[in-house]
Structure 1
Amino acid sequence: MSFDTIAIGHTVTGTPFSPTRETIREFCDASLDYNPLHWDDEYMKGHFGKTQFGGIIMHGMTNFGLITRMLTDWLYPLGGVHRRLETRWKAPVKPGDTIVPHATVTAKKETGKSRWAVLAVEVKNQHGVVVAQGEAMAEFPH
């Protein structure tokens, strides 16, 4: 497969990930993000406006990392480079969930300097609920 053979509608699926309390805590340590949403069970017993999470939740940036890994794993062997990613968090992910990133090629463009693919990206949980979605751009240099 190469840029020329990638069709609009081509899909890519990433590796499933099941966050645990330990992996969430490791992300706190790696990112220095110690928001109590991610580690404090007592704090998470409260209400946040109309929202009640019912326990700690995974960092949204973990979705970003899973999407990036999926794109890099797909692009690198094809000579492509992941250039841009924008995502929105749609639903919380809790320890015990299993999430999987997906991408679909929505557009291709060739410029004088390079070749580009645009992908719709999303992460779904084990119930098929979209927990993150957005758009990515990949470059396939000449």
Structure 2
Amino acid sequence: MTSFEGVSVGDAIAGPSFTVTRESIRLFCEASLDYNPLHLDEAYMLGSFGKTQFGGVIMHGMTNFGLITRMITDWACPQGAIHRRLETRWLKPVRLGDTIDPAGVVTAKHTTAGSRWVIINVTVCNQDGEQVARGEAMVEFPLPA
């Protein structure tokens, strides 16, 4: 366990790997109510009507968001910290069979009159080391009571 004082700029955070399957995509469709054929229908994605540059079904971009959120909360919550903000950009599509890994690096620490804050640059990379998403998270370490 770490406290705000124990966090340093440059500290690394890692989340669990995630391999994309048809089942994981289907489950996300059900949880999010997003049944876009981009995520489900191989024939649509390869056919003349739905053909895109993706070359087949792709994972929901919000799955990246969820993996980053899990990584941040797994790191922050045991220390009494609160995940307050996350902004991300999708950079590349994630396809069936890809394995993606969320990671973060602490880039700044700030203390205000009301709290203490940690800024984390976050990335998700595929099995080839290519970034598929990146962004920034903010974690609050409330002042001791």
Tell me whether the two structures share a fold, i.e. TM-score over 0.5: yes
Q: Is 1:110 paired with 2:145?
A: no
What is the CA–CA distance in structure 1 between the aligned matches of 2:125 and 2:93, rounded to whole Å?
Answer: 11
CA deviations on 1:12-40 (whole Å, 9 max, x unpaired) are 00000001001101111110101110001
Unaligned runs of 5+ in 1: none
8 A Cα contact 1:105 1:119, kept in partner: yes
Supply the AA of the counterpart residue of 1:138.
V
Tell me the TM-score normalised to structure 2 length: 0.93
- Count matched residues: 141
How much identity, in percent, do the aligned residues show?
A: 62
What is the CA–CA distance in structure 2 between the aligned matches of 1:26 and 1:12, rounded to whole Å?
Answer: 27
What is the CA–CA distance in structure 1 between the aligned matches of 2:120 and 2:10, rounded to whole Å?
Answer: 9
Tell me the TM-score normalised to structure 1 length: 0.95
What is the CA–CA distance in structure 2 between the aligned matches of 1:20 and 1:35, rounded to whole Å?
Answer: 16
RMSD between aligned alpha carbons?
1.5
Unaligned runs of 5+ in 2: none
Quote how far apart the aligned CAs of 1:92 are: 0.6
CA deviations on 1:94-114 (whole Å, 9 max, x unpaired) are 111100000100110000100
What's 2:125 paired with?
124
Which consecutive segments of 4 or more residues in structure 1 shift more than 4 A?
none
Quote how far apart the aligned CAs of 1:88 are: 0.3
What's 2:7 paired with?
6
CA deviations on 1:98-136 (whole Å, 9 max, x unpaired) are 000001001100001000000100000000000000000
